A and B are shown apart, each in its own frame.
Chain A
Amino acid sequence: MRKLPLVLTTAAMTAAAAPALAADLSVTVDVPRLNTASYHRPYVAVWIENPDQSLNRSLAVWYQQTRNAEGDGKDWLKDMRTWWRKGGRAMQLPADGVSGPTKAPGRHTVTVPAARLRNLAAGNYVIAVEAARELGGREIVRVPFRWGGPNTANGSGSSELGAVRVNVTR
């Protein structure tokens, strides 16, 4: 683990129950700072995709977890269209260790403890990160990685997402 990014939120740190160094899989997502008149934090889903592009499991879903004057935050989960269609719609949310509040622009790390991936067979997978923003766009970044030994992989978005880094530590 490199220098802890300053923008790492308290929530993300709390979510990482195990020390980051011992984690088997971590996904770092840059939420870009966008200069727009009416900025709302994006909804973001992070999931593991099988080689056939089916959803293996959701790792993180960041959405508005409360109700406001405009409605329940769950009303817009479907705007993460790809994630929703591939399996988000079959999930019960909130889900322990998966759902969380929306994140401010900056670098956020999803750390998946070993125990949660013990039934993931060794092989090639893809980390998919999808962001959808109110009055904004939608973008998916896919980063292929290998499960079963240490490796790192990188990808990058161009509009709604910045760099995505996948780190498998063992």
Chain B
Amino acid sequence: MKKTLAFLALTAALAAPMAAQAHRAWMAPSATVLSGNDAWVGFDAGMSNIVFHADHAAMRLSGLEITAPDGTKLQAQNSAQGRYRSMFDVELKQEGTYRIANVSQGFMAMYEQGGERKRFRGTEAEFATAIPADATNVVPTRTASRTETFVTLGNPNDTALAPTNQGLELIPVTHPNDAAEGETSTFKLLLNGQPATDVDVTIAREGIRYRSNPEEVTVKTAADGTFSVAWSGAGLHWIGASVRSEGANGQPGTNASYNGTIEVLP
């Protein structure tokens, strides 16, 4: 019984990866730039306040999409879920760039029924029938989240980086596996395929646990959705952004979030 309860609590925590806004979702690759013929990359994914420091919750990987350099989809291997982190491996058999993403799309609504606030969570199709007829103040929201990283074996390519035009996503202007300390990378943020303008993007470097200053940087996207980051240090960098908009004229609102990991090499 105790075990069941613990499991339920864990499931509840995992079921809403984006609900706890205070915690950041991250995916940490063991390497991003590889050569040779024996390339495997291990990934850890979790949610925590200190990015890449697994001390809060594992990530449910039900939306894992691994795109190979030729655009085909791959399956993760050796998947496991720990208390604070989920993990899996990907074997790189093709040369080029891989996009490893955990993606979720959903629908939620807040409403009142008999003076009580309630919440619906599910798909947009379910929403049409799931809300009681006597519900008032229905506030529906489309949700989308993407937590991803990129790795390259050999020479990079861009096939896997093509936008899916769903939710918030990062499109490279500078290749994501070309980030080097002392240089600047430029990326473009898209919301449902359109430039996401004037959005705050937070960049946090790994190792916050071992220093007093978090050294976090926030930049705003330009009119074309682009933003640039000058890499002042090496290491894994978390790039986080979210866009919320209120619904209007019967249209649901939007809550889209992006969590990317870029490795900066010295």
Once A81-B265, A81-B266, A90-B155 are accepted as A-B contacts, the answer to whether A76 and B35 lie under 8 Å apart by CB is: yes
- Does B110 reach chain A (CB closer than 8 Å)? no
Contact assessment for A71 and B36 in the assembled complex, using a CB-CB cutoff below 8 Å: yes
Contact assessment for A77 and B155 in the assembled complex, using a CB-CB cutoff below 8 Å: no
Contact assessment for A74 and B35 in the assembled complex, using a CB-CB cutoff below 8 Å: yes
- Does A116 reach chain B (CB closer than 8 Å)? no
Taken residue by residue from 31 to 44, chain B's Cβ proximity to chain A (1 for < 8 Å, 0 otherwise) reads as 00111111100000
Distance between A91 CB and nearest chain B CB, rounded to angstroms: 9
Q: Report the count of interface residues on A (CB-CB < 8 A).
A: 13
- How many A-B Cβ pairs are below 8 Å? 39
Contact assessment for A75 and B38 in the assembled complex, using a CB-CB cutoff below 8 Å: yes
- Does A33 reach chain B (CB closer than 8 Å)? no
Taken residue by residue from 40 to 77, chain A's Cβ proximity to chain B (1 for < 8 Å, 0 otherwise) reads as 00000000000000000000000000000001111111
- Does B156 reach chain A (CB closer than 8 Å)? yes
Q: Which of A75, A81, A85 contacts B36 (CB 8 A)?
A: A75
CA distance A107 to B266 in the complex (A): 28
Taken residue by residue from 154 to 189, chain B's Cβ proximity to chain A (1 for < 8 Å, 0 otherwise) reads as 111000000000000000000000101000000000
Chain A residue contacts of B152, Cβ below 8 A: 89
Contact assessment for A78 and B155 in the assembled complex, using a CB-CB cutoff below 8 Å: no
B177 — nearest CB in chain A belongs to which residue?
A85
- Does A84 reach chain B (CB closer than 8 Å)? yes
Contact assessment for B265 and A77 in the assembled complex, using a CB-CB cutoff below 8 Å: no
Distance between A33 CB and nearest chain B CB, rounded to angstroms: 26
Once A81-B265, A85-B178, A85-B180 are accepted as A-B contacts, the answer to whether A74 and B36 lie under 8 Å apart by CB is: yes
Task: Tell me the residues in window 89-106 of chain A with beta carbons closer than 8 Å to chain B beta carbons.
Answer: 89-90
Task: Tell me the residues in window 108-166 of chain B with beta carbons closer than 8 Å to chain A beta carbons.
Answer: 152, 154-156
Distance between A135 CB and nearest chain B CB, rounded to angstroms: 17
Chain A residue contacts of B180, Cβ below 8 A: 85
Q: Which of B34, B37, B38, B156 contacts A78 (CB 8 A)?
A: B34
Chain B CB within 10 A, most for which of A73, A77, A78, A90: A78
Q: Report the count of interface residues on B (CB-CB < 8 A).
A: 15
Chain B residue contacts of A71, Cβ below 8 A: 36-38
Contact assessment for B33 and A72 in the assembled complex, using a CB-CB cutoff below 8 Å: no
CA distance A165 to B253 in the complex (A): 65
A73 — nearest CB in chain B belongs to which residue?
B36
Distance between B22 CB and nearest chain A CB, rounded to angstroms: 36
Chain B residue contacts of A77, Cβ below 8 A: 35-36
Distance between A140 CB and nearest chain B CB, rounded to angstroms: 11
A93 — nearest CB in chain B belongs to which residue?
B35
Chain A residue contacts of B35, Cβ below 8 A: 74-78, 84, 89
B39 — nearest CB in chain A belongs to which residue?
A75
A75 — nearest CB in chain B belongs to which residue?
B36
Contact assessment for B36 and A76 in the assembled complex, using a CB-CB cutoff below 8 Å: yes
Distance between A89 CB and nearest chain B CB, rounded to angstroms: 5
CA distance A90 to B178 in the complex (A): 13
Distance between A102 CB and nearest chain B CB, rounded to angstroms: 15
Chain A residue contacts of B266, Cβ below 8 A: 81
Task: Tell me the residues in window 119-158 of chain A with beta carbons closer than 8 Å to chain B beta carbons.
Answer: none
A87 — nearest CB in chain B belongs to which residue?
B155
Taken residue by residue from 9 to 37, chain B's Cβ proximity to chain A (1 for < 8 Å, 0 otherwise) reads as 00000000000000000000000011111
Contact assessment for B36 and A72 in the assembled complex, using a CB-CB cutoff below 8 Å: yes
Chain A CB within 10 A, most for which of B33, B35, B38: B35
B31 — nearest CB in chain A belongs to which residue?
A78
Contact assessment for A89 and B154 in the assembled complex, using a CB-CB cutoff below 8 Å: yes
Chain A residue contacts of B34, Cβ below 8 A: 75, 78
CA distance A168 to B39 in the complex (A): 40
Ranked 8 nearest A-B pairs via Cβ? A75-B36, A74-B36, A78-B35, A77-B35, A71-B38, A72-B37, A90-B155, A72-B36
7 CB contacts below 8 A, A to B, read: A74-B35, A75-B34, A76-B35, A77-B36, A78-B33, A85-B178, A89-B156
